[in-house]
Amino acid sequence: MKKALLFGLALILGMIFCTTAGAHFGMVIPSDSMVMMEDDRTVRLQVSFSHPFEGIGMDMERPKAFGVVADGGRQELLGSLQQSRVMGRAAWQADYRIKRPGAYLFYLEPTPYWEPAEDVYIVHYTKTVVAAFGEDEGWDGEVGLPTEIVPLSKPFGLYAGNVFQGIVKLDGKPVPYAEVEVEYYNEDGRAKAPTEYMITQTIKADENGVFTYAAPRSGWWGFAALNEADFTIPFEGQEKGVEIGAVIWVKFEKWQ
């Protein structure tokens, strides 16, 4: 009887958690999305996995890949990652020295995350773009990830209220009518959602895989397009499905 009661309580708590928690997001958050000549040229990148609006973090294993595409080349940065804590959970950070003008596309491939509540592994291919020294050539470039959001609007230098557009791609091809989850990084915890429906907003791309969103307030906003992978990963003797996400983080600025 006691065991049954405890099981029932755990089930209820699990249901409450699942219904109130927002979406999962891979996160790559730089200390600045625009670096000017007079600024500190070292950008600190915070790498984590979380529910960004609610401030609920998940422990993140060491990523499989982490790097930057800039000036026509690619640089692996996995060795620069140091252990960190984000939202009280295991995370990573790296310092990167900006040396030349242009757009820097930072990208992440995480170690697959097992999500027992959904009975799937989650792999979010995540990126963000940093512009430096007044130049921005290459901001709309592709990293070449298995799934990726390619920006149609500059993913920096946007005011709150501006429109951001991107194309959802899978294996290099646009995904018609892709579903895109949108969530605000509520870093200081001050933002409050009127209802749980407002924690994660959902939009759909058009027939060409293009989606549009206008951020209502300044700060970092994450866009995640989710698809089912064409491969599985074994877990305790069973093959499990894999959710792969194309994620991009975009900062919107206050109107001055």
The tens digit of pLDDT for each residue in 171-205 reads 999 999 999 999 999 999 999 999 999 999 999 99
Predicted local confidence at residue 20, as pLDDT: 42
Q: What is the DSSP letter of 135?
A: B
Q: What is the mean pLDDT of the chain?
A: 91
Residues 6 or more apart whose CB falls under 8 angstroms from that of 248 comprise 126, 127, 128, 129, 149, 151, 155, 166, 222, 223
Q: What is the mean pLDDT of residues 139-152?
A: 97
Q: Which two tokens stand for residue 4?
A: 């049954």
- Cite the beta strand spans of 52-112 per DSSP E: 56-58, 65-70, 73-76, 82-86, 89-97, 102-109
* In the chain, % of residues over pLDDT 90: 87
Q: Determine the number of helices (DSSP H) and then strands (DSSP E) in the chain.
A: 1, 22
pLDDT in tens, 196-254: 999 999 999 999 999 999 999 999 999 999 999 999 999 999 999 999 999 999 999 99
Amino acid at 168: V
pLDDT (mean) for 161-165: 97
Q: How confident is the model at residue 22 (pLDDT cuts 50, 70, 90)?
A: low
Residue 59 has pLDDT above 80, yes or no: yes
Place of tokens 């600024």: 39
